[in-house]
Chain A
Amino acid sequence: MKFTGKVWKFRDDVNTDEIIPARYMNTSDPKELAKHTMEDIDKDFMKKMKPGDIIVGGKNFGCGSSREHAPICLKEAGVACVIAKSFARIFYRNSFNMGFSIVESQEAAEDIKEGDTVEVDLGNGVINNKTTDKAYKVAPYPKFMQELINAGGLMKYVQRQK
């Protein structure tokens, strides 16, 4: 998988209430939810971003609630992938289970600036910052997780086990 997009940069500890405020949680319709993506941290985010853009966060991205609505929102809004120094545990798990791409890279998350154009090549484990021409290696997913991906996500994997 390969994505190229423009970067929107966020600070450390972006929490799930900022990604999708709990007050909108009375529905699970992705289209409804996506309208409010990142609303409490940047209320104009949905006006500014274009599908295919990439989010770069700091440490502990997606902390807080276990709600899958957070990665669902980002995916539905058209965010291609999130790069961060580290991810909160449940957000990581959820993204992974539902096939939303997230990449952990301390260095890339530090260097990349808002507005840069970045290419993420998951297959080869590289992030290329096209604006600065700098490349970053990323660690491949653990083998077990690759198996889940190959099976087509957790639900497919579980069905096959049955």
Chain B
Amino acid sequence: MGMTITEKILAAHAGKKEVKPGELIWAKLDIVLGNDITAPIAISEFKNAGAKKVFDKDRVCLIPDHFTPNKDIKSAEQAKVLREFAREQKLKNYFEVGKMGVEHALLPEQGIVTAGDAIIGADSHTCTYGALGAFSTGVGSTDLAAAMISGKTWLKVPEAMKFVFKGKLSKWVTGKDLILHVIGDIGVDGALYRSMEFCGDTIENLSMEGRLSMCNMAIEAGGKNGIIAPDKITKEFLKGRSERKPVFFASDKDAKYVDVREYNAAKIEPTVSFPHLPSNARPLSKVGNVKIDQVVVGSCTNGRIEDMRLAAKIIKGKKVHSTVRMLVIPATQAVFMQMFKEGLTEIFVNAGAAVSTPTCGPCLGGHMGILAAGERAVATTNRNFVGRMGDPKSEVYLASPAIAAASAVTGKISGPEELH
């Protein structure tokens, strides 16, 4: 019986020839990850368990990205726990403010994660690295603690769903629109406990940035992991970047899927998810007149250089609407630097946008752009739950950087075409 790419990676890490959906395995991990919210709990459990050393100081990554630069005294205390632990354990992959970026943008960019890896992270969007052809999934702090000690984790081999996209994308349609469309189609639990495999000629032609955005949001459909088989684009991306040797897996022709869905990608419009669930997706043509107060371009979903280029291209020479605040938050320092080099920062600042150092910030309602009651934001982030960006009576609309930038100019949810 054939295996899917996910099953093959899991089998390789469990030291088995074959695994089957539903099977419980112990998998060896290539990378384990924590952040300033989840790692403090894991570190205290690590210590309570009497552990002295992490299993491998090169494979435990701690990234203080959520409430940093420290937003208040409590978050400063949390970040300090990470910093001290990283020093004590001599962790190679601890990134201080100034080098820090949003974890799921940073790890692929720095070549810390690579094709064929098995990765867990105490953050739900750890599923992002599936774009590289890795198995990666989000877990909790106790799992992180146990993995920091043992370098292993227990996993149930997920059933697989396949999403096949065919055709050429329309103008302004990105990976973000594809994944919002899928979540709108299957719902926020449409892939519960399952693996989501994206393929088809549309995906083969999709940039790594677009792929990362798609796999990033697998969790928004309840998925255990999102994954795309490595190809030319993957190899190109990993070249000179990957710290370890990538291993390329692919699904067998006779691999088993519990569900196969085909999409005519050419027909998919720019898509916006209305409050308060990512599954409330609507094509742009059906959005209607939605006035907004804030725009956020950034996060682990859409804070990469391609996203910044797209938003800048649309807003170049225009002004942010007088009733809108626009926040642009590059996901990593490298993205920030590249924005300077390409003159993107200038474009945003000239338009009247605030550009900040990398942070999760407003994405989780942490800091740097919190909404008041009744306010609405268009954000390139991944969650629009009640209270996600501030007051429980505020609203978040999820969209691509193209929609976000156009909306910043018009003051209501708009596509770039409306600017001409």
Contact = CB atoms under 8 A, between A and B. Distances in A.
Given A63-B222, A142-B24, A21 B365 contact: yes
Contacts of A59: 189
B8 interface: no
A97 B222 CA distance: 19
A23 B371 CA distance: 12
Contacts of B189: 13, 59-60, 63, 86, 88
A23 B74 contact: no
A63 B188 contact: yes
Nearest to A22: B364
A159 B150 CA distance: 9
Interface stretch (B136-144, B250-258, B306-314, B327-335): B136-144
Contacts of A28: 37, 40-41, 44, 78
B154 interface: yes
A15 B38 CA distance: 17
A17 B278 CA distance: 14
A114 to B, nearest CB: 20
Interface residues of B, number: 53
A140 B37 CA distance: 33
A78 B359 CA distance: 34
Interface string B16-27: 000000001000
B392 A161 contact: no
A162 interface: yes
B287 to A, nearest CB: 22
Contacts, number: 142
Contacts of A157: 146
A150 interface: no
Interface string B106-126: 000000000000000111101
B160 to A, nearest CB: 15
B386 A155 contact: no
B48 A66 contact: no
Given A21-B387, A26-B74, A158-B149, A89 B193 contact: yes
Given A63-B189, A66-B140, A68-B141, A155 B49 contact: yes
B192 A86 contact: yes
Nearest to B74: A26
A25 B222 contact: no
Nearest to A145: B24
A26 B67 contact: yes
B45 A88 contact: no
Contacts of B386: 15, 17-18, 40-41
A18 B67 contact: no
Interface string A1-40: 0000000000001010110011101111000000000001
Interface of A: 13, 15, 17-18, 21-23, 25-28, 40-41, 43, 59-60, 63-69, 72, 86, 88-90, 93-94, 97-98, 142, 144, 148, 153-155, 157-159, 161-162
19 contacts: A17-B385, A21-B365, A23-B387, A26-B71, A26-B75, A27-B74, A43-B392, A59-B189, A60-B188, A60-B189, A63-B188, A66-B122, A66-B140, A68-B141, A69-B37, A69-B41, A158-B149, A159-B50, A162-B149
3 closest A-B pairs by beta carbon, nearest first, are A94-B140, A60-B189, A26-B75
